[in-house]
Chain A
Amino acid sequence: GAGVSQTPSNKVTEKGKYVELRCDPISGHTALYWYRQSLGQGPEFLIYFQGTGAADDSGLPNDRFFAVRPEGSVSTLKIQRTERGDSAVYLCASSLMGGTNTEAFFGQGTRLTVV
């Protein structure tokens, strides 16, 4: 596809349930990022992948959050035992190489609501 694709666009889940959010980056982009955006706030960094490996996961709030990118393309953000405070828009972005010389392109996000 032409841009970063995220599925689903909306997800409603009950407190305590497990959810998976998917990101399809732009083809050929080696760097992939996950951000979380709460209402009225700027995006907050969660994790950055370079290829298959997590180069920086310092933004993951706790061990209920985990992300994978097994083949260096599609990534899945996994949230266990969801809490109401996890409700937010989860944004994925990709860039050609990462680093100083490449632009990060964002997807439209997945709006997660925990009830």
Chain B
Amino acid sequence: GENVEQHPSTLSVQEGDSAVIKCTYSDSASNYFPWYKQELGKGPQLIIDIRSNVGEKKDQRIAVTLNKTAKHFSLHITETQPEDSAVYFCAASYNTDKLIFGTGTRLQVFP
């Protein structure tokens, strides 16, 4: 079955700096790669996703890149703000119906 590894487990950055989180997946059939942000006591919230027919997608300060050959994808957050502090999860699936999540990255943005 699919296995998703995520690094780093914790990430501390200064406000205004960039943050990068990386994930690798094992199943070459996976075609959907969402990223979720989870704040304390809340459920995960989708922030951006990418499908296997696209190499890069950007939404304001957030971007995701996908390398199908290497089976890895990354989340890039630019101009970080304190409100970006949360736990971020990557996930992979075939057709979204069974998301396999990474272990999460705790991002802290210091003012």
Contacts and interface: CB of A to CB of B under 8 A. Distances in A.
Interface of A: 4, 31, 33, 35, 40-45, 48, 55-56, 58-59, 91, 93, 95, 98-100, 102-109
Given A42-B103, A100-B31, A108 B98 contact: no
A109 B98 contact: no
Nearest to B106: A40
Interface in B21-40: 31-32, 34, 36
Contacts of A99: 95-97
28 contacts: A4-B43, A33-B99, A35-B99, A40-B103, A41-B104, A42-B4, A42-B6, A42-B89, A42-B91, A42-B102, A42-B103, A43-B44, A43-B99, A45-B98, A45-B99, A48-B98, A55-B97, A99-B97, A100-B31, A100-B51, A102-B96, A104-B34, A104-B96, A105-B46, A106-B43, A106-B44, A108-B42, A109-B43
Contacts of A35: 99
Given A42-B89, A100-B31, A100-B32, A107 B43 contact: yes
Given A42-B104, A45-B99, 6 more contacts: A35-B99, A55-B97, A98-B97, A100-B32, A103-B49, A109-B42
Q: Which of B43, B98, B101 has the most CB of A within 10 A?
A: B43
Nearest to B101: A42
A53 to B, nearest CB: 13
